[in-house]
Amino acid sequence: MGAVPGGSLLSVPGAREISGAFDVEPFRSAGRRVVLRDVDEVVLVIGSAQPSSVVDADRASRCGASVVRRRSGGAAVLLLPGAQVWADLWVPRDDPLWSVEPRASAAVAGEWWARALGAAFRREAGDLSVHRGASIPAPGSDMVCFAGVGPGEVVREGRKVVGLAQWRSREGVLVHGCAYRRWDPEPLVDLLDLPSTTRHALVGTLRAAALGLGDMGVASWGHDQLVAALPEPASWEVVQA
């Protein structure tokens, strides 16, 4: 993963600091930990390898968006107050759930999300699956996380439901996970530096790439269900942030 400061603020006019949301350092000495996160502002998060030029600085400034770079890989995700379920899963290196294989670590997180969602779906649980192969690129996946499908991510009939991003260190592995309550790619694409015709075409493509929780009839599903689905629930430190 790119060696950039965790949660570093990009030089976008009008952007504000996000206090510690993407700082990986506190995890290094932790045991099993889950951090359940909410935001109270607009936050555009880009991956470790994405250039800052992917962001339209003027548009971000006008809407007051904070723009941060995370240490994990992947592409851009837009976080809005109340619009998504977001949780970080940390597994230390000496834990039986830790794996030297990145895909296996992603699968641990994906299985957790799928188990929690499956409990909500009941009869429809079989429609959900955890992607266990290599990343599947798609139009726009170099810019937007939910365009393609990566290892461990949860899909339903080929459309992404849960996006994951992974950061690994000698102390353990951290996996960010996010599911949107309603999938609408337009606000995210509006913050990217693209010609208007490209922006319009990309929004159309992305609409068919993912599903929101509301699209599947579980709009009220959230953090409580995730915590209940943890393997050996009592062994985890659960933090609300």
Query: Is residue 72 situated within a structural domain?
Result: yes
Buried b (16+ CB within 10 A) or exposed e, 145-162: bbbbbbbbbbbbeebbbb
Query: Is residue 206 situated within a structural domain?
Result: yes
Tally of domains in the chain: 1
Count CB atoms within 10 A of the CB of residue 49.
13
Provide the CATH number for the domain around residue 207. 3.30.930.10
Query: Is residue 228 situated within a structural domain?
Result: yes
Q: How confident is the model over 25-61, as pLDDT tens digits?
A: 999 999 999 999 999 999 999 999 999 999 999 999 9
Between residues 131 and 215, the one the model is more confident about = 131
Q: What pLDDT, on the 0 to 100 scale, is given for residue 123?
A: 52
Q: How confident is the model over 204-228, as pLDDT tens digits?
A: 999 999 999 998 888 889 999 999 9
Provide the 3-class DSSP secondary structure of residue 197.
helix
Its domain, for residue 151, covers 8-240
Query: Is residue 104 situated within a structural domain?
Result: yes
> End-to-end alpha-carbon separation of the chain, Å?
24
Q: What pLDDT, on the 0 to 100 scale, is given for residue 100?
A: 97
Q: Is the pLDDT of residue 165 over 70?
A: yes
**Taking residues 227-237, what's their average pLDDT?**
95
